[in-house]
Structure 1
Amino acid sequence: MLDPRGVLRLDPLRAWRFVAGKVSALGAVTSPPYDVLEPAIVRRLTDSDLHNMVRLILPRDPDLGPARYNEPAHRLAGWQRDGVVVQDEQPALYVYEQRLGSAVLCGLVGLLRLDPTRQVVLPHEEVMPHWVDDRLQLMEATDADLEPILLAYADGGAASDAVDAARSGEPWVEAETYNGAEHRIWRIDDPEVLETIELELAKHEAVIADGHHRYAAYLERQLREPYRQTAEVGLAMLVDYIRHPLTLDPIHRVVPGLDLMTVQSRTPAGWQMQPGRVEGDPDRISVTDGSSWLTLHTESEVPTVALLHEVLFPAWGVVEDDLSFHHTLSDALALAGPQQLAVELAAPRMDQVLRSAAQGVVLPQKATSFGPKPRVGLLFRTL
């Protein structure tokens, strides 16, 4: 066995899953990740099944403070007691495939060996401390990792061959979600195949594509429980983005207290400003009050999201704690007004993200939205 320190490693686990006969449908109890859940989606998921994972990953009643995490902990314990969820009998790595039209997510789910030194598990964006604390409190209350983080690496070789070979067999779990996506899971438990995967992954490093706050919570949990072996790992999905490409989308901002006049008068020299929303420019930043648009552009190799936070926001006098973040432009536009601008961004290029991560440079919080994202609830882990 390889020394896990300083190498990329994904260990097998005995995953938990829902029992089909105990819920309305396997797809009906799943959820998108917590940080993309808009209120309308939460209502739909809450109504879909009494056991939907949103009831665990998005604790309600924030006025209760830390006590709000007791509800999902008690709920999970009840599901375990009643046999609504069961644990796999033998440890395995799990191949997870999600198909929606032409979009395919495919990779390995297992227990990621944590890397506090950032040698092989590379973050690419900053985190917000309150969300790290939120995820950590949920992890501690439930003693579980309910949502896999998503990591990307390149040219997986024998490990990717093992993933594709597993997909030629009968799935262990199948589900379909309300959006029409098809989900399939296979198990890899053959010792020789697992060793082949381990040896291959040890040659690589991986970038955190989605789940920076959960990964930061994993690291904090490890610091708090240094003698607990199960705290040395966290639930993760690892994707070879060369063989199974990921999409890369922007996350838009809404800025309270900002108006178009301030943008026009206080934008630093060197930025081009055009009235209207100029499309087709991968390096543009467009702002709107809901009726008028202004598009900004400057020549730089730095991703526009970094320039927005490091150059424009200070020039405009923006207090970053007041920002809200939105995965869809329509959600941001719905909040735009004369004193509250929506900021539309273009996605950073993949090479920019990878180069930044490899150099140890992180982008601002919520800089990117990688996809497709693994569905929550098909596999989870208890400590």
Structure 2
Amino acid sequence: MPDPVLRLDPLRAWRFVAGKVSGLGAVTSPPYDVLEPAIVRRLTDSDLHNMVRLILPRDPDLGPGRYDEPAERLAAWQRAGVVVQDERPALYVYEQRLGNAVLCGLVGSLRLDPTRRVVLPHENVMPHWVDDRLRLMQATDADLEPILLAYADGGVASDAVDAARSGEPWVEAETYNEAEHCIWRIEDPVTVAAIAAELAKHEAVIADGHHRYAAYLERQLREPYRPGAEVGLAMLVDYVRHPLTLDPIHRLAPGLDLQTVQQRTPSGWQMQPGRVEGDPERISVTDGSSWLTLHTASDMPTVKLLHEVLLPAWGVVQEELSFHHTLADALALAGPQQLAVELTAPHMDQVLRSAAQGVVLPQKATSFGPKPRVGLLFRTL
């Protein structure tokens, strides 16, 4: 078997037809795992065709049958011409602008790498979420949400991205948060070949979408000879030319109180009352009114220290944790017997180093951004 290489193939992507919906931005959604209930309500009300109706199957009491609804809905949209497939294969340049934040890169069909030699995960996954995404993929026969990968110094490939952006966009959209989204197509065979040759020199870290990527791999394992199962929808960003942000994901720990933290935190940890800001290596816990801030000298990312040292010492059942991308969402649920845990983001070099060494951080260790909007481009098998 030849050595794996980083490969992003052109595809015939699906997209919404502007004249069939209230607006291209109105039918898009953030990725499924950052959707708080208030955002889901806003998106559901924005348009009958919003992607949240596909990526968040409702009625969990229905079991596996809950995935039938989005599958039937997608098929109906296809029959009605609400979504159409591009006539010719292409690599797609996607740009998202919100204030000074810019996401820019290539979207295509990522060749999967079960060996973890060129597509490198940096955090662990939770099996129930992998199963959820796999069931949705199988029911809809589609990859609805691109995963996000980061690589460095893209050279010719990054030059091609920037050259495409100098032309007229193929698709433009504006979302309710005033973000502007533009897409260009690259289909010239010479340019596509040059991009492929450049990418083959690189490896990429999964920045966002570990559960979806794990579901891609499981689909390939179950259907190894099926055309299209060897790839998955992905966006690839040169983070040197187009930097990504790196934020923490906070925790809510049911059954944990401040007294337990004070009594069971291992020796060697500094503990200060209050929320001590300005320390990039701190872990702070609160019941919603009082705070404790913890610190220890270590090269290990704080999220790894939390999961491998502190949570076991405190007796927290890690399967019962919930994860929140904003501190405000965690604080809203904090109480005397349910502490919010505020984390700081790992350093980029910590993430890249651990990924290159084949060492994964705990699940939901990081939040890379900006994240590609769901619904502007998707893929079917």
What TM-score bracket applies, with the shorter chain setting the length? over 0.9
- Read off the aligned partner of 1:96 and give its amino acid letter: Y
- State the match for 1:28 in structure 2: 26
- Read off the aligned partner of 1:242 and give its amino acid letter: V
Q: Deviations over 1:136-181 (max 9, x none)?
A: 0000000000000000000000000000000000000000000000
Q: 1:83 aligns with which of 81, 84, 99?
A: 81
- Read off the aligned partner of 1:305 and give its amino acid letter: V
Contact between 1:116 and 1:219, CA under 8 Å: does it hold in 2? yes
Identify if the C-alpha distance between structure 1 residues 110 and 4 changes in structure 2 by more than 3 Å, giving closer, same or farther: farther
CA distance in 2, matches of 1:227, 1:17: 27
Give the alignment of 1:1-383 within 5 angstroms. 5-383=3-381
Contact between 1:114 and 1:232, CA under 8 Å: does it hold in 2? yes
Give, in angstroms, the shift of residue 229 of structure 1. 2.4
Identify if the C-alpha distance between structure 1 residues 166 and 202 changes in structure 2 by more than 3 Å, giving closer, same or farther: same
CA distance in 1, matches of 2:43, 2:297: 43
- Read off the aligned partner of 1:335 and give its amino acid letter: L
Give runs of ≥4 in structure 1 deviating > 6 Å: none
What's the secondary structure of 1:28's corresponding residue? helix
CA distance in 1, matches of 2:3, 2:49: 38
Identify if the C-alpha distance between structure 1 residues 45 and 132 changes in structure 2 by more than 3 Å, giving closer, same or farther: same
CA distance in 2, matches of 1:378, 1:158: 25
What's the secondary structure of 1:219's corresponding residue? helix
Identify if the C-alpha distance between structure 1 residues 233 and 102 changes in structure 2 by more than 3 Å, giving closer, same or farther: same
Give, in angstroms, the shift of residue 5 of structure 1. 4.8
Q: Deviations over 1:280-326 (max 9, x none)?
A: 10000000000000000011110000000000001000100110000
What's the secondary structure of 2:371's corresponding residue? coil
What's the secondary structure of 2:229's corresponding residue? helix
Q: Tell me the TM-score normalized by structure 1.
A: 0.99
Unpaired segments ≥5 residues, structure 1: none
Q: Deviations over 1:243-300 (max 9, x none)?
A: 0000000000000000000000000011000000000100000000000000000111
CA distance in 2, matches of 1:285, 1:278: 9
Q: Deviations over 1:44-85 (max 9, x none)?
A: 000000000000000000000000000000000000000000
Q: Deviations over 1:218-242 (max 9, x none)?
A: 0000000011120000000000000
Q: Deviations over 1:311-347 (max 9, x none)?
A: 0001000100110000000000001000000000000
- Read off the aligned partner of 1:48 and give its amino acid letter: S
Contact between 1:4 and 1:113, CA under 8 Å: does it hold in 2? no
- Read off the aligned partner of 1:362 and give its amino acid letter: V
- Read off the aligned partner of 1:138 and give its amino acid letter: L
Contact between 1:285 and 1:346, CA under 8 Å: does it hold in 2? yes
- Read off the aligned partner of 2:325 and give its amino acid letter: H
CA distance in 1, matches of 2:158, 2:268: 46
Give, in angstroms, the shift of residue 365 of structure 1. 0.2
User: What do you get for the CA RMSD once the two structures are aligned?
Assistant: 0.7
CA distance in 2, matches of 1:53, 1:46: 9
Q: Tell me the TM-score normalized by structure 2.
A: 0.99
Unpaired segments ≥5 residues, structure 2: none
Q: How many correspondences in the alignment?
A: 381
CA distance in 1, matches of 2:323, 2:3: 36
CA distance in 2, matches of 1:70, 1:167: 39
- Read off the aligned partner of 2:120 and give its amino acid letter: L
Contact between 1:148 and 1:235, CA under 8 Å: does it hold in 2? yes
- Read off the aligned partner of 1:105 and give its amino acid letter: L
CA distance in 1, matches of 2:18, 2:329: 34
CA distance in 2, matches of 1:182, 1:147: 18
What's the secondary structure of 1:229's corresponding residue? coil
What's the secondary structure of 1:231's corresponding residue? coil
